[in-house]
Amino acid sequence: MNKKIFSGVQPTGNLHLGNYLGAIKNFVQLQNDKKNNCIYCVVDLHSITVKQDSKTLKKNIRETTAAFIASGLDSEKSIIFNQSAVPAHSEGAWILGCVSRMGWLSRMTQFKEKAGKDKEKASVGLYIYPVLMASDILLYDATHVPVGDDQKQHLELCRDIAQKFNHDFMSPNFLKPPEPLIQKEFARIMSLKDGNSKMSKSDPSDFSRINLTDEKDLIINKIKKAKTDAMPMPESTDNLDDRPEVLNLLGIYSILSNQNINKTKADFGGKNFSLFKDQLTELLIDKIIPIGKKIKDLLKDEKYLDEILNKGAEKADKLASKKIEEMKTIVGF
Ligand code: AMP
Ligand code: TRP
């Protein structure tokens, strides 16, 4: 089956290793399979659900685009665009918002986490964020959506919204419930400081993450300081539940080197931790530094990046306009 792939990344600056290993690396693999049609979106409408500075937002939209290209996405093979350039996303979100139920949205753990203790002060946008995400996906009849593990619940909601629309408007199969594509192993890259919380741009400590634009010395330092424990490297896959930091570093090594975790354990089991950290640092420098360098180079050519987005938006708009017109007709407009 030919897959239609759609995914999005928020332009909130400082893309990190979690974004790369959990999402963008897979985008590239999917794009390079000729049977797939891929659409990758810089979801700028999603990013304003929390306050943004307008100049920084513009810079971050370009930076995320640069990170896509630097990681291997190709605007000739994939449609790359920013969400706000295609009005159908917002229109679709309104219509889908009217079939979504408050109860469904209230169960979303990402909202609970992001809104924190004082939910009354969270923006309405943050609450209905998953409806906009459903609109993104359903407008293109996407069959598969590559995301990190944290987005699984939003995709389940997207399927529910599609089915409710089809049911309410008696239009069977009009909206296509998509399948998530989530890595089986290490779908969630954890913080370098705490193996129980995910690597995130919002962590106040920069030493909790490797940013794609970190310089060599900083990467060396961050891995040196990454939390581990006093025990030697484990020899088997079992009983690592109480050593989440160690498991996370082994996972990062395995994905970056495209090898099975058991092979990584066999290579390093029983050996000194510092040897493993040295090799992990080397691997990170080998894989991440070239991406960071390319991002910085691309950012010097704003016109080039804007052109990629404009051309992509034109192609996306053609597809999305057609679907939204059909949707409006079904609704009765
Ligand atoms: P965001 O930056 O939140 O828009 O996330 C972009 C993509 O990166 C989404 O598919 C997320 O699921 C993924 N992602 C973000 N943080 C991590 C992480 N720590 N581990 C794995 N995937 C992640
Ligand atoms: N919510 C996703 C995140 O924070 C980003 C996103 C927006 C997305 N729209 C999407 C991902 C559509 C996949 C498909 O990571």
174 and 250 co-located in one domain? no
160 and 219 belong to one structural domain: no
What residues line ligand 2, using a CB cutoff of 6 Å? 6-8, 10, 43, 46, 133, 136-137, 145, 147, 151, 154
Quote the ligand 2 centre to 247 CA distance (angstroms): 27
Clarify whether residues 12 and 57 are in a common domain. Answer: yes
Check which CATH number belongs to the domain holding 11 and give it: 3.40.50.620
Q: Clarify whether residues 29 and 157 are in a common domain.
A: yes
> What pLDDT is attached to residue 256?
94
Of the residues 58, 114, 164, 287, only one is catalytic, namely 114
- The phi, psi pair for 82, rounded to 5°, reads -110, 140
Q: Using the atom order of ligand 1, give the atom closest to the CA of residue 46.
A: 4
Residue nearest to atom 18 of ligand 1 (CA): 18
Question: pTM here?
Answer: 0.95
Residues linked to residue 312 through DSSP beta bridges, in sequence order: none
CATH of the domain at 263: 1.10.240.10
Query: Does the pLDDT value for residue 5 go beyond 80?
Result: yes
Residue 237 has pLDDT above 80, yes or no: no
Mean pLDDT of all residues in 202-230: 95
- Distance CA(70)–CA(250), nearest Å, equals 25
128 pLDDT band (50/70/90 cuts)? very high
User: Does 180 reside within a domain?
Assistant: yes
Our answer on whether the CB atom of 210 is closer than 6 Å to any ligand 1 atom is no
pLDDT of residue 13: 85
Do 29 and 149 belong to one domain?
A: yes
If one compares 235 and 248, the residue with the highest pLDDT of the two is 248
141 shares its domain with 275: no
Percent of the chain with pLDDT over 70: 99
Give yes or no: residues 307 and 253 share one domain. no
Q: Kindly give the distance from the C-alpha atom of residue 132 to the centroid of ligand 2, in angstroms, as a whole number.
A: 9
pLDDT value of residue 121: 93
- 85 and 156 together in one domain: yes
Mean pLDDT value across the chain: 95
- Does 235 have pLDDT greater than 80? no
Residues facing 181 on adjacent strands: 146
Residue 184 confidence (pLDDT) above 90: no
Is pLDDT above 90 for 186?
no
Count of domains forming the chain? 2
9 ligand 1 Cβ < 6 A: yes
198 given a catalytic annotation: yes
Q: Is the CB of 203 under 6 A from ligand 1?
A: no
- Asked if residue 240 has pLDDT above 80, the reply is no
pLDDT tens digits, 246-278? 999 999 999 999 998 889 988 998 888 899 999
Domain match, 154 and 285 both: no
Residue 325 in any domain: the answer is: yes
Per-residue DSSP letter, 82: E
Q: 91 and 217 share a domain? A: no
CA separation for the pair 23, 27 (Å, rounded) = 6
In a domain, 194, yes or no: no
List, in sequence order, every beta strand (DSSP E) within the chain. 4-9, 37-42, 78-82, 144-146, 179-181
- Is residue 265 annotated as part of the catalytic site, yes or no? no
Instruction: Compute the distance between CA of residue 331 and CA of residue 277 in angstroms, rounded to an integer.
Output: 58
**Is residue 115 one of the residues assigned to a domain?**
yes
Q: Which ligand is nearest to the Cα of residue 147, counting in written order?
A: 1
Among the listed residues 4, 25, 198, 265, the single catalytic one is: 198
Range of the domain at 51: 3-188+303-331
The yes-or-no answer on residue 201 being catalytic is yes
83 has pLDDT over 80: yes
Domain assignment of residue 196, yes or no: no
